[in-house]
Amino acid sequence: MTNEPEVGMRHLGLAPWLQTAWDLRAAGNFVGGGSGTGLLIITSLGAFGGLYSRGAILVGLVLVGLGLFSVFLEIGRPLRAMNVLLGGKRSWMTREAFVAAVLFPLGTAALVYPDLAKLIWVPALAYLYCQARILEASKGIPTWRSPLILPLILTTGLAEGAGILLVLAPMAFDSATPPDWAASALIAALAARIFVWMTYRRRMVAGEAPVEAAAVLVAFSAPFTLGGNIIPVVMVIGAGLEPSIAVAALAAAGLAAMAGGWMLKVTIVTKAAQNQGFAIKHSPARGAGEPGPGIKPGWTDSSNT
Amino acid sequence: MTKWAIVADLGRCVGCQTCTTACRHANATPPGVQYRKVLDMEVGTYPDVRRVFVPVGCMHCDEPPCRDVCPTTATKKRADGMVTIDYDICIGCGYCIVACPYQARYKVSKPTFAFKGEATANETKRFDERLLGVAQKCTFCVDRVDYGLANNLTPGIDPEATPACVNACLSKALTFGDTDNPDSNVSTLLRQYKSFRMHEELGTGPNIHYLWESED
């Protein structure tokens, strides 16, 4: 028996502080699950145009599996892990597990029966949606409970998936150059992601998130916008202008888009994850005194009026 | 119906932390875990500055986000309003911890004690291995309340049936009772004083009410 206080278990004052219940292991679930399902969705939709890649499907499933394994490492009682299936009535985490039970058998079957690839997008999209709702249901973390977390997780998942498809193209397809629509899908997903991100960031900074969390998002915004969104678009345009560098440029664009999405989720889950903190609406009257204003430490409108 | 709640009179609370100590004794919570704590807030700007002591903990919400996210159904809400955790089902995923806007939940993975590596007699007596690696929080002393009800005692009135923090409060700032009973101690206080609840805008329906001014 030890006497080591656990990090983050101290009484941390009044203003919102960084949650420590979910660390990189939990973020890993959103990274692997988002990228994996994004790749599966893009690959599955591509199947309607004649695309079939066992490699892409396999990588998608592996990424989702790694994400689940990552979060498995976080739970306190791993031997009870199957209890996660009990809460389907309310919990999006349980629903995510239900969908995984469909996604993996279907994805595995699609490795053998190519026609089934056209169906994978359904459970993959459902899985990605569950992940977004998991964050949105976390009422204790203002940057997660924003309704905009839904489109943000969905669009970044698709951008990451399209990016990984471009990275895999030289290995996954007969032709080293990926189909034209893959690059177009990446551009569309990046445009949607950056639009949602800008709106999300603006609302967080405008007072929907604690000051400290908003500062993290502001600091992250420039490198994310440039490195994870603008540079990939420039690379895709460059690939179109100069065919001799197309394979490398598209792969680099995909890698940058994927890395940007991963950093986005790591930042939101582990860095811009300050909790609600404490607040009072009024100060009490004491003795013959008069009541006073309330206080909401750590928020832009700290008067809590 | 019954709906248990705590009324905290902010005008009475002196920040002595006796409730915190009583809670820690009753539950033998490890270092860093405080089911009941009292915040020390400084409000205003010089020269109009005041100190406010605010008892906080699990609010046993009407619509508890912790229950809604729990993937195992370990977190439940009883008919009398108490939010409980089944330690034998919980997997310790921590989802409820990030779902709670009151920072009321904890997870401890290793046994830890107040004084070095050795447990005190009270810690040894009350140590519960089931709490390791799972979520834990204030129970409103559900065992005391249930014991009292089974023995025709009135929670909030009879000390044996009342949460330890409320019993210990030396300034009578904390009151426990049934808000569904219009004649109860807490209902009477809520009629006599103006009150608010913390983060009410989040729609959780918290059941710790803070009194801040007399209606007179």
pLDDT per residue as tens digits for the range A201-221: 999 999 999 999 999 999 999
Residue A83, chain B, CB below 8 Å: the answer is: yes
A294 falls within a domain: no
Contacting residues of A for B58, CB less than 8 Å apart: none
Q: pLDDT of A145-163, one tens digit each?
A: 999 999 999 999 999 999 9
Mean pLDDT over residues B6-23, rounded? 96
pLDDT at A7 exceeding the cut of 80: no
Res B47: pLDDT:
83
3-class secondary structure, A279: coil
Q: Closest partner residue to A284 among B67, B107, B212, by Cβ?
A: B212
- How many structural domains compose chain B? 1
Beta bridge partners of A292: A283
Confidence of residue B216 (pLDDT cuts 50, 70, 90): low
Cα of B150 to nearest chain A Cα, Å = 31
CB contact under 8 A, A3 and B31: yes
Beta bridge partners of A293: A282
**Beta pairing class for B48-56 and B37-45:** antiparallel
Res B12: pLDDT:
94
pLDDT at B9 exceeding the cut of 50: yes
- The structure's pTM equals 0.94
Confidence of residue A174 (pLDDT cuts 50, 70, 90): low
d(CA B93, CA B134) in angstroms, rounded, equals: 8
Look at A110 and A292; give whichever has higher pLDDT.
A110
- How many structural domains compose chain A? 1
pLDDT at A15 exceeding the cut of 50: yes
Structure tokens given for A280: 């009072």
Res A8: pLDDT:
36
* Helical ranges in chain B per DSSP H: 18-27, 65-69, 95-99, 121-126, 142-150, 164-168, 185-192
CA atoms within 13 A on the CB side of A96: 26
Q: Which of A177-191, B15-29, B164-178 has the lowest mean pLDDT?
A: A177-191
Q: pLDDT of A248-260, one tens digit each?
A: 999 999 999 999 9
Res A288: pLDDT:
67
Nearest to B135 by CA among B200, B198, B77, B72: B72
Q: pLDDT of A75-119, one tens digit each?
A: 999 999 999 999 999 999 999 999 999 999 999 999 999 999 999
pLDDT at B197 exceeding the cut of 90: yes
Res A113: pLDDT:
97
CB contact under 8 A, B95 and A139: no
Residue B24, chain A, CB below 8 Å: the answer is: no
pLDDT at B104 exceeding the cut of 80: yes
For chain B, the average pLDDT equals: 95
Selected residues 6-35 of chain A with any CB under 8 Å from a CB in chain B: 6, 9-11, 14, 19, 21-22, 26
Residue B28, chain A, CB below 8 Å: the answer is: no
Residue A202 neighbours by CB under 8 Å, 6+ apart: none
pLDDT at A12 exceeding the cut of 70: no
Q: Name the residue of chain B whose CA is nearest to A133's CA.
A: B69
Selected residues 130-149 of chain A with any CB under 8 Å from a CB in chain B: 134, 137-141, 144
> Which CATH number belongs to the domain containing residue A268 in this structure?
1.20.1630.10
Res A304: pLDDT:
64
Cα of B117 to nearest chain A Cα, Å = 5
d(CA A39, CA A193) in angstroms, rounded, equals: 16
For chain A, the average pLDDT equals: 92
pLDDT at B8 exceeding the cut of 90: yes
Q: Which of A98-107, B116-125, B162-171 has the lowest mean pLDDT?
A: B116-125
3-class secondary structure, B65: helix
Residue A159 and residue A193 in contact, taking contact as beta carbons nearer than 8 Å: yes
Phi, psi angle pair for A16, to nearest 5°: -55, 140
Selected residues 77-116 of chain B with any CB under 8 Å from a CB in chain A: 89-95, 97-103, 106-113, 115-116
Contacting residues of A for B72, CB less than 8 Å apart: 80, 83-84, 86-87
A84 falls within a domain: yes
Res B116: pLDDT:
75
A305 falls within a domain: no
Mean pLDDT over residues A58-75, rounded? 97
Selected residues 263-292 of chain A with any CB under 8 Å from a CB in chain B: 273, 275-286, 289, 291-292
Res A176: pLDDT:
62
pLDDT at A134 exceeding the cut of 50: yes
Residue B119, chain A, CB below 8 Å: the answer is: yes
Res B66: pLDDT:
98
Residue B136 and residue B107 in contact, taking contact as beta carbons nearer than 8 Å: yes
Contacting residues of A for B91, CB less than 8 Å apart: 75-78, 80-81, 83-84
d(CA A152, CA A32) in angstroms, rounded, equals: 16
Res A26: pLDDT:
97
Residue length of chain A? 305
* Helical ranges in chain A per DSSP H: 24-47, 54-72, 92-112, 121-136, 142-145, 149-172, 180-203, 211-225, 231-241, 246-270
A48 falls within a domain: yes
Mean pLDDT over residues B125-132, rounded? 95
Q: Which domain holds residue B123?
A: 4-214
d(CA A205, CA A201) in angstroms, rounded, equals: 6
Res A2: pLDDT:
38
pLDDT at B52 exceeding the cut of 70: yes
CB contact under 8 A, A22 and B9: no
Q: Closest partner residue to B97 among A21, A289, A293, by Cβ?
A: A21
Q: Which domain holds residue A112?
A: 24-276
% of residues, chain A, pLDDT over 70: 93
> Which CATH number belongs to the domain containing residue B189 in this structure?
3.30.70.20
Res A1: pLDDT:
37
